[in-house]
Structure 1
Amino acid sequence: MGTSRMFRIFLILGSAFMILLIIIYWDDVGASRLYLHTPVSPGPKTPHPPQQPRPHTSRTPSFLSDIDAFVNQFLEPETGEPTDPGPVDTTNQSERAEERYVPRQEWKIHLTPVAADLRERQDQRRRLLREMCANDSVVFPGKNRSFDDIPNKELDHLIVDDRHGIIYCYVPKVACSNWKRILIVLSESLLQDGVPQRDPLAIPRDLVHNSSMHFTFNKFWKRYGKFARHLMKVKLKKYTKFLFVRDPFVRLISAYRNKFELRNEDFYRRFAQVMLRRYANQSTPPASVDEAFSVGLHPSFSNFIQYLLDPQTEKEMPFNEHWRQVYRLCHPCQIQYDFVGHLETAEEDAEHLLRQLKVDNVVEFPSTHRNLTASSWETDWFNTVPIDARRELYKLYEPDFRLFGYDRPDSLLDE
C-alpha cells in the first residue's frame, strides 16, 4: 500500500513538473515571436502564420503598423486608447481609406539618377540650416529648446504618410495646396467610387485643406497617448522629412493679395476689420466683405504691415499660419530636414524630391500657375511702407531669411 501511494505521489509531481515546463517554454516562444515580428523600419516582409481575424476591423498592415499594434497592447484607459481598439473614427477619411487599402501592383520605382548639381544644392541648403542653428548671431524664440519642449499645438503642420515613410511640414503660400494633394494621393486618404484618387488636381480644394484628410503630429496624442512623443521621434529618425520655403517678403505679399484683395469673409471678419479700425480710420467698418468691396474698401498693404508690427497683435493671438514665420511652423533647429525645397526652383526641386522619395512614377507635381507674386515686385509693393517699418519687418522675419539662404533685401532697407 505504501509503495503504491508513493508511486501515485511521484506520478502527480512529475506531471505537474512537465506542465510547468510546457508553460514556461510556450511563454518564452510566444514572447520571442512577439518581438521578432515587430518591425521598426521598412524592409522586406516575411510571411506570418495565419492569425485569428478580429471581427471589428479589416485593416491591412501598412508601414510600421505593427508598431501601432504593439503599442496598443500597453495603452492604459487614461490615454484614451483601448487595449483592443474598436472601429476607426468614421470622420477621419485617411484612416478609413487605410482600412480598405489594396496594394497597387503597378507602382514602380523610378531609378534614374538625380543630377549632381541638384544633390549639391540640397547639401548646401541642409548644411546652411545646421550652421545657422548653431550660429549664436541668429536668435529667435524657441531656437534652443528641445523637440520635447515644443507644445503639441505647434506640431499641427507636420503631415505624416506612414505608407511611404514621409513627413511634410507645410508652409502656407508656398505651394502647400499641391503638396497636400500629393500626400493625399500617396496616402490614399481619398476614395472615389471605392478607388483611391490618383489625380492630384482632381481633389477639390475644400478637401485639400480639410484636416481630416491628413494625419499630423498633433493628432498623435489621441491615437498613441503617452507613447505619442516617443513615436514622433522614431518616425522623425526613420522617415524622409521635407518642407518648401520662399522669400519671406514675397510670401507676405502673396498672403496679402490672396486674403485681403480677394473676397474672403472669414479673413475680413477676423483680420481686415481690425486693420481698418486701427490703421485706416474706419471706426465702424462694413459688416461683411461684400459690403466693403462694394464701396472699394479693404486694408492697404501698409495697413497689413502695421498689423504685423503692432505688439498688440500677438498679445491677442499668434500670427495666422499664412504669415507666421517658417521657423515657428516647422521647427528647423529641432527637426533635421532631409530636403529643403524653394518655391523659386519648385519644378526642379519637386522632381528631385519625388525621385528621392521613390514615388516619381506614382505621382507628378501638378503644373499650375505658381508664384504669381514675383520677387521683382517687392519694390513696388513696399513703396507705400515707411523705411523704418520695413527695417522692423526684416527683424521680425530675419531668421527665415538667414536659415533658408535668402539675401537681405538691401534695396528696400537701405536709403
Structure 2
Amino acid sequence: MYDHILIDDANRMLFCDVPKTGSSFFKMLWLNYTRGIYEYNRVHDRGVLRKYNLRYLDTYNRTEVQIRLKSYFKFMVVRHPLVRILSAYRDKLENANPFYPAVLGRTIERQYGHVPAGKSKGRNVTFKQMVHYIIDHGPYDHHWTPISLLCNACEIEYDYVARLETSYLDYRYIFSKLKNVHGDNTGLPQSFRAYKGATDFDMVRKYYKTVPINYTNLLIEKYYMDFRLFGYTWNITSLSYGNRVNAYGKEY
C-alpha cells in the first residue's frame, strides 16, 4: 500500500516516488545533496537506498507509519497525466527496453496490431496501440498508474506538490527544507536549471495526433483524478496542455 512512499528519517521527510516524473534524477540529487553519494544507475534499487538510510513506508510497522504520516514534511512530484503516458511509451516500448517488449509489447501487438503470435517480437507497438491497451485493460503498470493512486493522495495530506514542469523552482523550495545536508553543494541549483523533461510540447503534439480523439477522451477519463487534483488541463483541438513552462519554471 505504501510501496512508493520513500522515507528520509534524518530529514524527517516523506517523498512519493512516482515513475516518469523525473524520479531517477530527483533521487540522484537527493543522495548527492544529503549524503554526498553519487549513485547514478541504482537509485531504484531498494537495497542501495536502504544502505543510505532511505526506506519505503511499507517497511515500517503501523505505529511507525502513523508517526511519519503525522509529523514529517510530505511531498510528491507530479506530471501531466497524458505526457507521463507518452514518456512511458517512449522509454519502455519505442526504445526497445529489454523487458517490456517481451512482456507487454507482444501482447499489444497480437491484440491491437493483429500480429500472429509466432511473429510477434513486441518491438513495433505504436503509441495508438498502447493507448488502446490502457483504455481496455486499465493503467495498472506503475509507470503509468495514476499518481493519485500511487501516492495515496486521498489519504495522505501532502504539504507540497511539485511539478516536473516547474521543477527548477519546486526542487529548490523542497531542498531548502532539508535539515541535514552534505557540504554546501553550491552547484546543485544549476543541476535543477539544466534538467528538462525529455517529452516536450512538440513531441506531445506529434504523438497525440496519431490517437483518435475518442481514445484520448477515454484516456482522460482513466486519469480524471490526476487532472482534478493536480490542476492539469487538455485542449483536444489544439493538442495543447496546461502548465507549459520553460527550464526556469516560468509558464509561457
TM-score tier, shorter chain, comes to 0.7 to 0.9
Which residue identity lines up with residue 182 of structure 1 in the other structure? L
Equivalent pairs: percent with the same residue? Answer: 29
Kept in 2, the 8 Å contact 1:248–1:397? The answer is: yes
Output aligned runs, 1:329-368, within 5 Å: 329-358=150-179, 362-363=184-185, 364=188, 366-367=191-192
1:46 corresponds to: none
User: 1:356 Cα shift?
Assistant: 2.3
TM-score with structure 2 setting the length: 0.82
User: 1:335-373: per-residue Cα shift (whole Å, max 9, x none)?
Assistant: 111111011111111111111234576553644543110
Stretch deviating more after TM superposition (278-287 or 334-343): 278-287
Kept in 2, the 8 Å contact 1:255–1:323? The answer is: yes
Kept in 2, the 8 Å contact 1:174–1:343? The answer is: yes
User: 1:286 Cα shift?
Assistant: 4.9
User: 1:412 Cα shift?
Assistant: 6.3
**Structure 1 CA distance for aligned equivalents of residues 32 and 66 of structure 2:** 25
2:46 corresponds to: 211
User: 1:27-55: per-residue Cα shift (whole Å, max 9, x none)?
Assistant: xxxxxxxxxxxxxxxxxxxxxxxxxxxxx
Aligned residues: 229
Which residue identity lines up with residue 164 of structure 1 in the other structure? N
- Answer yes or no: is 1:382 the counterpart of 2:208: yes
Call closer, same or farther: CA 1:284–1:412 in 2, change over 3 Å: farther
Output aligned runs, 1:12-27, within 5 Å: none
User: 1:182 Cα shift?
Assistant: 3.5
Is the radius of gyration larger for structure 1 or structure 2?
Answer: 1
User: 1:411 Cα shift?
Assistant: 2.4
User: 1:137-193: per-residue Cα shift (whole Å, max 9, x none)?
Assistant: xxxxxxxxxxxxxxxxx21000011111111101111110022223434664xxxxx
Output aligned runs, 1:52-71, within 5 Å: none
Kept in 1, the 8 Å contact 2:5–2:14? The answer is: yes
RMSD: 2.3
- Answer yes or no: is 1:405 the counterpart of 2:242: no
1:241 corresponds to: 74
Output aligned runs, 1:16-415, within 5 Å: 154-185=1-32, 188=35, 198-199=36-37, 202-205=38-41, 207-212=42-47, 213=49, 214-220=54-60, 228-284=61-117, 286=119, 297-310=123-136, 313-314=137-138, 319-358=140-179, 362-363=184-185, 364=188, 366-367=191-192, 369-411=195-237
Kept in 2, the 8 Å contact 1:163–1:187? The answer is: no
Kept in 1, the 8 Å contact 2:77–2:164? The answer is: yes
Which structure is higher in helix share? 1
SS at match of 2:111: helix
Kept in 2, the 8 Å contact 1:161–1:186? The answer is: no
Which residue identity lines up with residue 156 of structure 2 in the other structure? I
User: 1:263 Cα shift?
Assistant: 2.2
Higher RCO (Cα < 8 Å, 6 or more apart): 2
